[in-house]
Amino acid sequence: MSSNANKAAWISAPKATPLEVGPAPMPTPQGTEVTIQIHSVALNPADPVVQRLAILLEPKDYPFILGCDMAGTVVAVGPSSTFKPGERVIALAASWGRKDPKYGAFQLYALADTPFLTKIPDNVSFNEGCVLGLGLTTAAYALFNPDTLALDLPKPGGNAPNGKIVLVWGGASSVGACGIQAAKAAGYTIASTASARNFELLREMGVEYMFDYSSATVIDDIVAALKGKGEMAGIFSAIGKPETLVQCAAVIQRLEGRQHVATVRPPGFPAVENWPEGVEISNNASSHMKSEVSGAVWGAWLEGALRDGSMKCRPKYEVVGKGLEAVQDAMDLMSKGVSAKKLVVEFI
Ligand SMILES: NC(=O)c1ccc[n+]([C@@H]2O[C@H](COP(=O)([O-])OP(=O)(O)OC[C@H]3O[C@@H](n4cnc5c(N)ncnc54)[C@H](OP(=O)(O)O)[C@@H]3O)[C@@H](O)[C@H]2O)c1
């Protein structure tokens, strides 16, 4: 690995477009970090939003390397890492949180660190595995953190069914698909909403009760189907729109159990108007995730669940380009929105 082998798709300044491909420093892993040679990256809605609106970063942070989801091969390890060169891994890229481009996914070699780093078994390709990083992390925060739904954590091999129900609103989204599967592994019965064309995806992930969110009667339909079927453990809305959250509140108020809607809204977002008294609502910040949650999900459960197929890399990926030069077009596609799909760019 020569020291000048790294290249990145840089964002040169706030709101700059297109990304510019150019040399990047070869990162050196410290402590428990690893350097990953990235094979595949997946796009998230936040990637083009950060580019367009220049949020999350200060002007002094530029030039910068964006990108949250990566899969690749470990090529170097820090002195305290338990990983080994040659291992196939996925990771949540943490460049925003650390304000450091060395951790961004849109480069050939990036740093990653525990806890948001795990090996992938041979039955999972890089294109499949790269779709999980931000989706799973966001879902895990909403489902398991003590200040959100605080559900039972999934144990390796999965928990026995506990009879409690979780409604995941937006099950065909990346965050929702990860949320469905993680909550199911933790022993919960899953209800979910999606467009009817995506019900097969929900079924494949083990959803028991499915609802079309575009139906005018969706709230009544959910209440009628779930009433008397078990205690609600709460609702996770993978969709942050206020009108969707108000629908979630209307559902939970009419059912027995935990009156809590966990959301994907980042901390500091304005309160949802007309929020009913007696229903809790929580925002979502993976940087505040408790180590017992990340350790249980990313550390103890995920690799085995990928191996035994109980955790599927969903929504399915679609390769939309090859090489760093393709990242900007993928960002532009992402900003138009997707249905039950992860956009992936291959670097190798
Ligand atoms: N706070 C955080 O740290 C954090 C992190 C990651 C993501 N997020 C946010 O979480 C949200 C989801 O992200 P993502 O990556 O999962 O998005 P995504 O995969 O791009 O979401 C697309 C899916 O959303 C579904 N959808 C749209 N409106 C819906 C509605 N009203 N009800 C039910 N489903 C609906 C669509 O379902 P159909 O195709 O079935 O219609 C579509 O498949 C985004 O708003 C994102 O910004 C927050």
- CB of 135 closer than 6 A to ligand 1? yes
CATH entry, 7-131+315-346, from 3.60.15.10, 3.30.1440.10, 3.40.228.10, 3.90.180.10:
3.90.180.10
Each residue's pLDDT tens digit in the chain (348 positions)?
A: 666 799 999 999 999 999 999 999 999 999 999 999 999 999 999 999 999 999 999 999 999 999 999 999 999 999 999 999 999 999 999 899 999 999 999 999 999 999 999 999 999 999 999 999 999 999 999 999 999 999 999 999 999 999 999 999 999 999 999 999 999 999 999 999 999 999 999 999 999 999 999 999 999 999 999 999 999 999 999 999 999 999 999 999 999 999 999 999 999 899 999 899 999 999 999 889 999 999 999 999 999 999 999 999 999 999 999 999 999 999 999 999 999 999 999 999
Please name the helix (run of DSSP H) or strand (run of DSSP E) that holds residue 23, with its range, or none: strand 20-23
**What pLDDT score does 287 carry?**
87
As assigned by CATH, the class of the 136-288 domain is alpha beta
The backbone torsions φ and ψ at residue 210, rounded to the nearest 5 degrees and listed phi first, read -120, 140
Pinpoint the residues of the chain covered by CATH 3.40.50.720: 136-288
Cβ contact 142:179 at 8 Å:
yes
Q: Is the CB of 317 under 6 A from ligand 1?
A: no
97 ligand 1 Cβ < 6 A: no
Q: From the CA of 171, give the closest atom in ligand 1.
A: 34
Q: Are strands 260-262 and 280-282 parallel, antiparallel or unpaired?
A: parallel
How many whole angstroms from 173 Cα to the centroid of ligand 1? 5
CA distance 256 to 169: 18
CB of 114 closer than 6 angstroms to any ligand 1 atom: no
Q: What is the per-residue pLDDT for 94?
A: 85
In this prediction, residue 102 carries a pLDDT of 98
What pLDDT does 4 receive?
A: 72
- 110, HSE (Cβ side, Cα atoms, 13 Å): 35
Rounded Cα distance between 155 and 282, Å, is: 24
Interatomic CA distance for residues 197 and 216, integer angstroms: 17
Which residue lies with its CA nearest to atom 31 of ligand 1? 244
List alpha helices for 209-300, DSSP H.
218-226, 242-253, 291-294
Token output for 285? 């910040």
Report how far ligand 1's centroid is from the alpha carbon of 175 (Å).
7
The alpha carbon of 100 and the centre of ligand 1 are apart by a number of angstroms equal to 26
pLDDT at 286: 87
> Where in the sequence of the chain do the CATH 3.90.180.10 domains occur?
7-131+315-346
